[in-house]
A and B are shown apart, each in its own frame.
Chain A
Amino acid sequence: MLSGVVARDRSGARGAPRGSLTGASLSLGVGVVAILGAPEDGSIALFDVLSGHRRPERGEVRVAGKDPARDVEARRRIGAVGLSAALPAAATVAQAIEIARSAHGSSSSPQAVLDTIGLGALGRRKPASLTSAEARAVELAIALATESPALLVVHEPFSDMARSSDETLASLEAIGKSAAVVVLTSSPADARRFERVLVLARGFVARESTGAHPVLGAPAACHLVAWIASGARELAAALAGRAEVASLILSADAPGGLAVVRLAGTDMDALASAFAEAAATTGADVEALREMAPVTPEVTAMTEWEVRARQLTAMHVAASDARLRAELAAADAAARAAAYAGRGYAPAQHQAQTGPADLAPAWGPAAPAELSPGVLAPAEGAEQPAVEQPTAEPPRGGDGSEGQK
């Protein structure tokens, strides 16, 4: 649990902060949650306070009811894998694991810890000889072997890790059945592997999305990418006329001489159906097809948009509240004036200042004229902010092998 946490990391040059938390509050229970954010948004600072590495400058961090930066019992129940490995210095990897396990008084052997992730051969290596991916995998093995874990926090579990992503995902979900698992990542595609995604922006949790396909980009934006062995131009031409396709990019720069078709639309089912029909009609040889996760700039744009919308809504409510209070006060004053007038000694100016129309308060929160109603809530059909279409690779020009609708 984090409450109003303000913290800075020291991962920049000469220990300077690279990112910071600016009042992050978060409550986690059993289960896996992905937190999407770059180091500049405070993801490293969040890792540091969750793992107990640093105390927050302000606010409170509790893991199993205790402050992990001060309480060793809390740290014994935390498994942590950071962006850069921090294995204890030792002659061999097995000895480094032994140092870690000695904190728990655990009886399980270092070899058994390594065998759980199929890295038993690393036991006799020197920690300094490990690659970053191997060292992080060893840290993951130690973290997964934590006894009665309360929290497992892993930074970028699917990149720079000497273990397959699917195996890592399965391990995290297994731990998530009995403990809180926090996955910190800057990749929207990796975050979408999980059903609960929090977006960390400018040091606080700005958005939350849950469900089988968390919405990270624009609410009604979906993207498909297909790798085509032959007939890509015909397929693109057929798709260009479809109403379901909002934009299309054809490029021939994929490895192996494959062409790549990228489609964007508002309805994934309709987009996929249009693609299937066009592929069947043109006889294009489709090698692979997958849904594309929104790219980071799109997620950032949506997050900024939502944060701004919330701020405007709050300002709007505050303004309405202030107006309502003023109107009620005026009505009260008018009523008092009327009562005094009935007794024959009312000051005349009260009646002059308040007319009959002023006595009825406006209960509905009227929007200030300067605010655009479309900005207040991302409603269905509301105009969405323009966001850059995701392009994994820039289209190559010159050879006439690309086209854009």
Chain B
Amino acid sequence: MSTAAVLAGLKMALARLKVARTLVTFVVAVAAVLVIAVVERAASSAGAADRSLAAVFRFIVPLSVIVLIGTATGGLNLREAAWPASRFGHPRSNVALGIVLASAAVGVVLSVVVALAALLASRAGAEAGRAALPLATDLLTTAWIAVLAGGAYAAWLGFGATFGKKGGGRLWFLAVDFFLGGAGTAGLVLPRGGITHLIGGEAPFGLSQAASSAIVPAVAIVCLVLGSLRCRD
């Protein structure tokens, strides 16, 4: 593992992410979750936070992270996206790993921001005693799940970006996650299954939440390794 190559990939991806598109993604995501939270609260204040967070982790985070991955790779296959740095002698797999790690870092920030925004907006004005958890505990738990979700989706979709000439595989990976990432067997290894379980949804394969919270980062690490391997020289 070449640290210089991973750093080169990180720097390159962060430079690509410093564009208006990233800011627009953040703004649109936050605006969307605020609308969702207000609508859910208007429908029924009981469970509004849970329903808002479900929408955040099932739709907003994956869709935002796929935009971030596309921006970080310059709309290219991950292998091609690593070329501008690897052409000088950096190992391509390490540069690709750096690109996904940078996307994951930004994805985690976005995920935490939108999740907390959804939580606060859906709990605003609700009676303190009606909530299942104290606000501080709820914030911490939500933030932890958001970190897992942002990182897991970045790794999953980054792996997807190694397929297709322009990295179009990430769209297929997103579709697979949407349609198969439920409580079934596939949900065990797909981000949607584990994350949904962590926010109170159905458990894939009947696992405990502790197991899901271990499986989600483990699968993310496997995706990082596989994506990196697919980009090796």
**Which of A65-73, A154-162, A271-279, A353-361 forms contacts with chain B?**
A65-73
In the assembled complex, the CB of B83 is this many whole angstroms from the nearest CB of chain A, namely 6
Q: With contacts A103-B8, A105-B4 known, is A72 near B16, CB below 8 A?
A: no
Q: State whether the Cβ of A51 lies closer than 8 Å to any Cβ in chain B.
A: yes
Q: Which of B52-99 contact A (CB under 8 A)?
A: 74, 83-91
Q: Which of B130-167 contact A (CB under 8 A)?
A: 165-166
Q: State whether the Cβ of A315 lies closer than 8 Å to any Cβ in chain B.
A: no
Interface bin, chain A:
20 to 34
* Interface contact B12-A15, CB-CB below 8 Å: no
Interface residues of A (CB under 8 A from B): 10, 14-15, 51-53, 69-73, 75-76, 80, 86-91, 95, 99-105, 142
Contact among B5, B74, B83, B89 with A73 in the assembled complex (CB-CB below 8 Å): B89
In the assembled complex, the CB of A187 is this many whole angstroms from the nearest CB of chain B, namely 25
Contact among A15, A51, A86, A103 with B165 in the assembled complex (CB-CB below 8 Å): A15
Q: With contacts A15-B165, A90-B15, A105-B4 known, is A99 near B85, CB below 8 A?
A: yes
Q: State whether the Cβ of B233 lies closer than 8 Å to any Cβ in chain A.
A: yes
* Interface contact A102-B7, CB-CB below 8 Å: yes
Q: Name the prevailing secondary structure of the B interface residues.
A: helix
CA–CA, A100 and B15, complex, Å: 15
Q: What residues of A have a CB within 8 angstroms of the CB of B8 in the complex?
A: 88, 99, 102-103
In the assembled complex, the CB of A45 is this many whole angstroms from the nearest CB of chain B, namely 15
Q: What residues of B have a CB within 8 angstroms of the CB of A76 in the complex?
A: 88-89
Q: What residues of B have a CB within 8 angstroms of the CB of A70 in the complex?
A: 233
Residue of B nearest to A143 (CB): B88
Interface residues of B (CB under 8 A from A): 4-5, 7-8, 11-13, 15-16, 18, 74, 83-91, 165-166, 233
Knowing that A70-B233, A73-B89 are A-B contacts, what are 4 other residue pairs whose CB atoms are under 8 Å apart, sorted by A's residue number?
A: A89-B74, A103-B85, A103-B89, A104-B88
Q: What residues of B have a CB within 8 angstroms of the CB of A100 in the complex?
A: 85, 88
Residue of B nearest to A90 (CB): B15
Residue of A nearest to B165 (CB): A15
Please indicate which of the listed interface residues B12, B86, B89 has the most CB atoms of chain A within 10 Å of its own CB: B89
CA–CA, A91 and B74, complex, Å: 15
Q: What residues of A have a CB within 8 angstroms of the CB of B90 in the complex?
A: 72, 102-103
Contact among B11, B18, B74, B91 with A99 in the assembled complex (CB-CB below 8 Å): B11
A sample of 20 cross-chain residue pairs with beta-carbon separation below 8 angstroms, ordered by A number, consists of A10-B165, A15-B165, A52-B87, A69-B233, A72-B86, A75-B88, A86-B84, A87-B84, A88-B8, A88-B84, A89-B12, A89-B15, A90-B11, A95-B11, A99-B11, A102-B90, A103-B5, A103-B85, A103-B90, A105-B4
* Interface contact A90-B12, CB-CB below 8 Å: yes
